[in-house]
């Protein structure tokens, strides 16, 4: 082997922003079940497993754990890292740690690359947006990794010369592209260009730019990358390793870089256990003296480009037609029987809106900022810490006029928020899939809706023109017909204003019950309640009081008195009144409560309608997670009635069910429904008690399973497995010197219950906690022989090989 061989595996880790644009939180997404939302699901399946990837022996036991990020090149979308910082901080910590470790191994060159901010298709963006996207991506990277990015990933690797200029101007040294994006190439100093046979991906190139700057380009191995992403190369680590090694060519005389680039979600989300296949390969390569695992920054320093290249303008890695996937019905699709004729009208509608929004900043922005565009570039600091008032004040001190009053401050922040939304609405996923009413496209349209609503505060009415343009975008779904139907049915009902926030809070007050641990459904707002009084009447409630709400993004305030009448069930009637005198309201509230206590509900509504004019709201105005919570509370009593009835029926018909089972006779649906409901709820109750510490419940769980075995009852593996997994994690967190034996014993009973149920709980996090506790006790010198034996015994149940604990049988 005449030359040292290098290998670099790059993962592009990304999810589109999923937060409700008005609330700043990701609401529940049923399609991601059993997880709350798709970010949480993909993190569980890919981002977290790659931070602690398993290496197994031939008996399926863990023998080593690898942080894949410390050995591969990677980039994470800034909007994904924003979510991760709040919702998966332990995963983000491992990612940042991996970059630090890689810098120590790679001569100061970290594995992490930056990314243009919100996955906008850069060749289709305005010059100003290209610049801001890069600057925001750089600033986000600094905040996360504590250094400037050497390289930056472009969304879909979509590129043109202007995009490369924006990268180079920001100090970015390189980016990574698909091989078909190279138009021609030559050795530096030669005159003749070549465009035959495809670009050689095993070296670095330099692209000269019109400004006089230059940027290094890497073109990944397209064939092997394709096999990883779409041809199940990750099914076996040995096969993956062999394919990477096969990418070298003995005829090459230069130092070869074998590198691939795929969506990072290939490793675990798209391909189950792909993280483990990757870990196997990375460990083998790290131990191979004939190759060197590297990253792009290190390779660039060791082997500067000896060749130059010119790109194909407006090209990408995921559209063979250039960038047409994001502006036309080019034929690229994920569902074969649907057209994408909506793509061009959607882009045209957003482009028209964008011109109005940019004009608004150019004209009205000067009343707030000496340089509105510089302010926009600097607004990323607020986005990264948007709910800290001191951060906002610092931003205003640096970029705004010094004499802004409260209203002008709100206007200044609104203008910046409009600009943020005007870029988020171009997130590439809005065009990638097949239907304008899809989750990703409606998310983009919601950003447009928020920008439009804020523009009204400046006297700009943009909705009518925008919706007229959307009407030219045909839908594949008859229910919507076109983009106007999507707007009216999916987007407009989702719009949030401060009144809706206040109504949401007013209804929620009835069911707070002192629970401060509930997830904040509206992080972008803060609401204070005062003079609240709540009365109960049968299944109904009455709540009155005063609310003061404030947007934490624009600092706009609103206050209102409120009345909520809950008639029972899911019937809520809420009224907000902004212009009610406090003294007068106190008198009115007393009369209303007296009427509610002794009068009819008709009298209550008559008094409310006559003496409390305002804006009405219903249960529909609750935000999605809180709506689900309240509905569950309201229906709980009814479900308990059903359960009692089904328990009686199941006990009464047990012999009939067993007899039918022995006869292999189909169980009539009423009998099956009653018995399944009884067993499902009973098992959930028993497991809940077992988790709480009552270990006698294992026998009762076994008895319930035996009752259903005669007629082929199957426990709800997903629900029960999730509960057992969470219980195991709780036990693993209790693994301390004084509690190890008790915690391990309790965890064993949970595993016994899982075995009885015939389900396999997710042990990933429990294994992590188990190993962390073992190593922590070892490092503290607190692990005596008794504790060591307890750990070693329980390791078998968790699928952990004794060798990882430093013990040989």
What DSSP letter does each residue of 16-33 carry, written as one string?
A: ---S-TTTSSPPP-GGGT
| CA atoms of 366 and 568, how far apart (whole Å) | 53
- Residue 550: strand pairing partners: 526, 557
Q: Is residue 506 part of a domain?
A: no
Q: Is residue 1 part of a domain?
A: no
Quickly tell me which residue has 């969506």 as its tokens: 263
- Overall average pLDDT of the 546-558 stretch: 95
What is the tens place of the pLDDT at every residue in 502-522?
999 999 999 886 555 455 677
Query: What angle is formed at CA 25 by the lines to CA 20 and CA 27, rounded to 5 degrees?
Result: 70
Rounded to 5 degrees, what are φ and ψ at 67? -85, 95
Decide: 279 and 55 in contact? Cβ < 8 Å: yes
Which CB contacts under 8 angstroms, 24+ apart, belong to 784-790?
787/737, 787/740, 790/740, 790/741, 790/744
- Overall average pLDDT of the 719-747 stretch: 88
Say whether both 689 and 606 belong to one domain: no
What is the tens place of the pLDDT at every residue in 128-176?
999 999 999 999 999 999 999 999 999 999 999 999 999 999 999 999 9
3-state secondary structure of 595: helix
| CA atoms of 181 and 189, how far apart (whole Å) | 22
Q: 297 or 645: whose pLDDT is higher?
A: 297
CA torsion angle for 592, 598, 599, 604 (degrees, to 10)?
20
State how far Cα 778 lies from the chain centre.
36
Least confident stretch, 267-271, 476-480, 521-525: 521-525
Final residue before a domain boundary, out of 324, 351, 373: 324
Decide: 253 and 2 in contact? Cβ < 8 Å: yes
What is the tens place of the pLDDT at every residue in 484-496?
999 999 999 999 9
Instruction: With cut-offs at 50, 70 and 90, classify the pLDDT of residue 652.
Output: confident
| CA atoms of 140 and 773, how far apart (whole Å) | 33
Query: What angle is formed at CA 781 by the lines to CA 778 and CA 785, rounded to 5 degrees?
Result: 75
Task: Give how far Cα 638 sits from Cα of 569, 620, 644, 647, 675, Å.
Answer: 10, 21, 10, 14, 18
Say whether both 294 and 409 belong to one domain: no
| CA atoms of 354 and 366, how far apart (whole Å) | 18
**Strand bridging mode 62-66 / 73-76:** unpaired
pLDDT of residue 43: 97
Q: Is residue 503 part of a domain?
A: no
State how far Cα 473 lies from the chain centre.
28
Given a cut of 80, whether residue 10 has pLDDT beyond it is: yes
| CA atoms of 452 and 462, how far apart (whole Å) | 6
Taking residue 619's Cβ as centre, other Cβ atoms within 10 Å add up to: 18
Longest dimension (CA), the chain: 96
| CA atoms of 527 and 510, how far apart (whole Å) | 15
Say whether both 345 and 309 belong to one domain: no
**Which uninterrupted H or E stretch holds 106?**
none
Say whether both 634 and 596 belong to one domain: no
Say whether both 615 and 764 belong to one domain: no
3-state secondary structure of 148: coil
Given a cut of 70, whether residue 3 has pLDDT beyond it is: no
**Which uninterrupted H or E stretch holds 369?**
none
Q: Is residue 499 part of a domain?
A: no
Say whether both 465 and 391 belong to one domain: yes
Q: Would you state the structure tokens that stand for residue 370, as one six-digit string?
A: 């000496």
Give the CATH number of the domain where residue 198 resides: 3.20.110.20
**Strand bridging mode 307-311 / 182-187:** antiparallel
| CA atoms of 576 and 545, how far apart (whole Å) | 10
| CA atoms of 411 and 654, how far apart (whole Å) | 69
Say whether both 551 and 656 belong to one domain: no
Say whether both 15 and 133 belong to one domain: yes
Say whether both 67 and 174 belong to one domain: yes
Q: Is residue 230 part of a domain?
A: yes
Given a cut of 90, whether residue 365 has pLDDT beyond it is: yes
* DSSP state, residue 613: -
Final residue before a domain boundary, out of 324, 342, 363: 324
Least confident stretch, 96-100, 288-292, 417-421, 804-808: 804-808
**Which uninterrupted H or E stretch holds 480?**
none
Contacts of 63 (CB under 8 A, 6+ apart): 55, 56, 57, 801, 803, 804
Final residue before a domain boundary, out of 261, 291, 324: 324
pLDDT of residue 2: 45
Domain that holds residue 362: 329-494
Q: Is 134 exposed, middle or buried (0-12, 13-18, 19+ CB in 10 A)?
A: buried
Q: Would you state the structure tokens that stand for residue 60, as one six-digit string?
A: 């399926």
Burial 538-566, CB ≥16 within 10 A → b, else e: eebbbbbbbbebbbbbbbbebbbbbbbbb
Given a cut of 90, whether residue 418 has pLDDT beyond it is: yes
| CA atoms of 378 and 105, how far apart (whole Å) | 34
Say whether both 475 and 588 belong to one domain: no
pLDDT of residue 520: 64
Q: Does residue 476 have a cis peptide bond before it, meaning omega lies within 30 degrees of 0?
A: no
Q: Is residue 508 part of a domain?
A: no
Instruction: With cut-offs at 50, 70 and 90, classify the pLDDT of residue 643.
Output: confident
pTM of the model: 0.94
3-state secondary structure of 612: coil
Q: Would you state the structure tokens that stand for residue 708, as one six-digit string?
A: 């259903």
Say whether both 414 and 532 belong to one domain: no
Q: Which of 119, 78, 77, 113 is nearest to 318 (CA)?
A: 119
pLDDT of residue 1: 39
Q: Is residue 98 part of a domain?
A: yes
What is the three-state SS of 277-341? Answer: HHHHHHHHHHCCCCEEECCHHHHHHHCCCCEEEEECCCECCCCCCCCHHHCCCCCCCCCCCCCCC
Helix intervals (H) in 456-560: 463-470, 483-486, 498-508
| 204: alpha, beta or left? (left if phi > 0; alpha if psi -120 to 50) | beta
Q: Is residue 75 part of a domain?
A: yes
What is the tens place of the pLDDT at every residue in 36-79?
999 999 999 999 999 999 999 999 999 999 999 999 999 999 99
DSSP secondary structure of 668-690: PHHHHHHHHHHHHHHHHHHHHHH
DSSP secondary structure of 172-238: --EEEE-GGGEEEEEETT-S--B-SS---TTS-EEEE-TTS-EEEEEE--HHHHHHHHHS-GGG-HH
Half-sphere exposure for 747 (CA within 13 Å, toward CB): 30
pLDDT of residue 251: 92
Tell me the residue length of the chain: 809
Q: 297 or 782: whose pLDDT is higher?
A: 297
> What is the number of domains present in the chain?
4
- Overall average pLDDT of the 221-235 stretch: 95
- pLDDT averaged over every residue in the chain: 94
Given a cut of 50, whether residue 236 has pLDDT beyond it is: yes
Contacts of 574 (CB under 8 A, 6+ apart): 503, 506, 507, 562, 563, 564, 565, 616, 617, 618, 621
| 16: alpha, beta or left? (left if phi > 0; alpha if psi -120 to 50) | beta
Given a cut of 90, whether residue 340 has pLDDT beyond it is: yes
Decide: 202 and 254 in contact? Cβ < 8 Å: yes
What is the tens place of the pLDDT at every residue in 577-611?
998 899 999 999 999 999 999 989 999 999 999 99
**Strand bridging mode 214-219 / 205-208:** antiparallel
Least confident stretch, 70-84, 664-678, 728-742: 728-742
pLDDT of residue 335: 80
Contacts of 624 (CB under 8 A, 6+ apart): 27, 28, 521
Say whether both 690 and 655 belong to one domain: yes
């Amino acid at each position: 082997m005449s030359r040292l061989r290098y290998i670099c595996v790059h993962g592009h880790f990304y999810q589109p922003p999923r937060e409700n644009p008005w609330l700043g939180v990701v609401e529940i997404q049923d399609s991601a079940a059993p997880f709350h939302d798709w970010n949480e699901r993909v993190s569980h399946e890919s981002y977290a497993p790659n931070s602690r990837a398993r290496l197994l022996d031939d008996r399926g036991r863990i023998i080593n754990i690898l942080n894949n990020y410390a050995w591969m090149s990677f980039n994470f979308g800034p909007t994904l890292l924003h979510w991760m910082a709040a919702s998966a901080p332990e995963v983000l910590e491992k990612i940042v740690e991996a970059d630090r470790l890689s810098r120590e191994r790679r001569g100061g060159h970290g594995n992490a690359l930056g990314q243009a901010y919100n996955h906008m298709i850069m060749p289709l963006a305005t010059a100003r947006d290209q610049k801001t996207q890069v600057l925001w991506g750089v600033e986000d990277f600094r905040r996360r990794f504590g250094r400037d990015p050497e390289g930056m990933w472009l969304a879909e690797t979509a590129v043109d010369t202007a995009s490369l200029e924006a990268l180079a101007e920001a100090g970015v040294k390189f980016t990574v592209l698909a091989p078909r994006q190279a138009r021609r190439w030559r050795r530096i100093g030669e005159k003749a260009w070549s465009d035959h046979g495809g670009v050689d991906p095993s070296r670095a190139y330099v692209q000269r730019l019109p400004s006089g700057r230059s940027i290094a380009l890497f073109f990944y191995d397209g064939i092997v990358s394709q096999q990883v992403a779409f041809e199940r190369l990750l099914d076996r680590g040995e096969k993956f390793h062999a394919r990477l090694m096969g990418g070298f060519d003995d005829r090459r005389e230069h130092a070869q870089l074998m590198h691939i680039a795929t969506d990072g979600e290939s490793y675990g989300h798209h391909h189950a256990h792909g993280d483990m296949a990757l870990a196997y390969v990375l460990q083998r390569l790290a131990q191979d003296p004939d190759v060197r695992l590297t990253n792009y920054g290190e390779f660039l320093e060791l082997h500067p480009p000896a060749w130059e290249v010119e790109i194909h303008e407006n090209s990408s890695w995921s559209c063979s037609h250039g960038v047409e996937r994001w502006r036309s019905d080019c034929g690229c699709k994920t569902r074969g029987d649907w057209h994408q004729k909506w793509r061009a009208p959607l882009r045209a509608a957003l482009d028209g809106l964008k011109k109005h929004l940019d004009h608004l900043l150019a004209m009205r922005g000067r009343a707030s900022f000496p340089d509105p565009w510089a302010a926009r570039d600097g607004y990323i600091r607020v986005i990264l810490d948007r709910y800290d008032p001191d951060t906002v004040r610092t931003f205003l001190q640096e970029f705004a006029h010094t004499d802004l009053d409260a209203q002008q401050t709100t206007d200044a922040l609104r203008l910046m928020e409009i600009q943020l939304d005007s870029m988020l609405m171009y997130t590439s996923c809005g065009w990638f899939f097949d239907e304008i009413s899809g989750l990703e496209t409606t998310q983009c349209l919601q950003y447009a809706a928020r920008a439009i609503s804020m523009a009204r505060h400046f006297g700009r009415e943009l909705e009518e023109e925008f919706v007229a343009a959307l009407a030219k975008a045909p839908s594949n779904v008859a229910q919507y017909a076109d983009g106007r139907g999507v707007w009216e049915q999916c987007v407009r009902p989702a719009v949030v204003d401060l009144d809706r926030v206040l109504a949401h809070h007013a209804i929620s007050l009835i069911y707070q019950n002192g629970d401060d641990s509930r997830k904040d459904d509206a992080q972008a707002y803060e609401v204070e309640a005062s003079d609240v009084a709540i009365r109960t009447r049968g299944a109904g409630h009455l709540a009155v009081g005063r609310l003061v709400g404030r947007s934490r993004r624009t600092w706009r305030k609103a206050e209102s008195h409120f009345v909520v009448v809950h008639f029972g069930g899911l019937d809520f009637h809420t009224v907000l009144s902004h212009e009610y005198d406090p003294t007068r309201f106190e008198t009115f509230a007393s009369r209303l409560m007296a009427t509610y206590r002794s009068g009819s509900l008709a009298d209550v509504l008559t008094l409310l309608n006559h003496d409390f004019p305002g804006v009405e709201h219903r249960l529909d105005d609750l935000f999605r997670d809180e709506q689900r919570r309240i509905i569950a509370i309201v229906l709980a009593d009814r479900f308990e009635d059903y359960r009692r009835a089904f328990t009686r029926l199941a006990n009464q018909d047990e012999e009939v069910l067993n007899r039918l089972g022995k006869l292999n006779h189909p169980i009539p649906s009423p009998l099956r429904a009653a018995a399944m409901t009884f067993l499902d709820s009973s098992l959930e109750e028993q497991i809940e008690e077992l988790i709480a510490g009552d270990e006698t419940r294992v026998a009762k769980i076994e008895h319930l399973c035996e009752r259903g075995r005669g007629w082929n009852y199957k426990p709800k593996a997903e629900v029960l497995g999730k509960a057992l997994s969470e219980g195991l994690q709780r036990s693993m967190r209790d693994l301390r010197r004084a509690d190890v034996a008790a915690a391990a014993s309790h965890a064993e009973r949970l595993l016994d219950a899982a075995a009885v149920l015939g389900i396999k709980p997710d042990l990933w996090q429990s294994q992590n906690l188990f190993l962390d506790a073992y190593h922590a006790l070892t490092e503290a010198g607190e692990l005596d022989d008794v504790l060591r034996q307890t750990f070693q015994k329980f390791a078998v149940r968790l699928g952990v090989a004794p060798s990882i604990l430093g013990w040989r049988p």
